Amino acid sequence: MEEVQIRDLSVVSNKKGDILKGFLKSDNFSFDVQEVYFSEINPNEIKAWKMHKSMTCNLIVVHGEIKIVIQKKDNNFIEEILSKENHKMITIPPNYWFGFQCVSKETSLLANITNHEHSDIESEQINLEKIIFDWN
């Protein structure tokens, strides 16, 4: 089974506005991009818990600050706050429960680059209370 990966992404300074690198095919030769979508999340809101059965997700925060939480197979958690200042891509393979929370004062925006098009039967969702995690 594949493991969760967290990779640094580069930010190119520009006096008219910085350029934030995203998904590079040269770094992801074997990944077949099928869909890119964006998910907004309002301040202090939590969107959790979701697990994909066959889809791999590549998450990048494109605006604001979002805490990504992934439950590992040993029931411990990976936590990472993504933002422009912590510009990374988190790759979540199938069969991991994950969620995210907006930790900025403005609506944040997350990009998801996937290897499957969205399908309701491909994923599972459970209520926030089903996995015990302290979001504070």
Domain ranges for the chain: 5-23+30-125
Q: How far apart are CA 51 and CA 55, in angstroms?
A: 9
For residue 92, what pLDDT band results from cuts at 50, 70 and 90?
A: very high
Per-residue pLDDT tens digits for 44-55: 999 999 999 999
Both structure tokens of 23: 């998904």
Mean pLDDT of 17-40: 91
Q: Is CATH 3.40.50.150 the classification given to domain 5-23+30-125?
A: no
- Write down the pTM of the prediction: 0.93
Both structure tokens of 105: 């004062």
Q: How far apart are CA 40 and CA 133, in angstroms?
A: 22
Burial class (CB in 10 A: 0-12, 13-18, 19+), 58: buried
